[in-house]
Amino acid sequence: MERSRRLALAAYLGATVTGDLRNVPQLLEDARQADPEQRGSLAAAVAASYHLLGAAGDIDTAHHLLVGAIEMKQGP
């Protein structure tokens, strides 16, 4: 679980701080493989959204990811 969190954070930092989106998909995939049960990571959602917006301009999917992650953090 800790490895997954660190990989998601690395993807987030790469996307938001350095602007380097090249490694984001692989880091997020590695995070998913490290802990397949982890869902709703806000760092992963932000990194994936940056990648979606930068690569494909897919604002709808980016929005869906962010809203889902925020809702999971807020709980029922």
- Segment 32-45 shows an average pLDDT of 82
Long-range contacts of 7-16 (CB under 8 A, 24+ apart): 7/31, 7/34, 8/41, 8/43, 8/44, 8/47, 9/43, 11/43, 11/44, 11/47, 11/48, 12/43, 12/44, 12/46, 12/47, 14/47, 15/46, 15/47, 15/50, 15/51, 15/54, 16/46, 16/47, 16/50
Q: What does the domain layout of the chain look like in residue ranges?
A: 2-74
pTM, two decimals, is 0.79
Residue 16, pLDDT above cutoff 70: yes
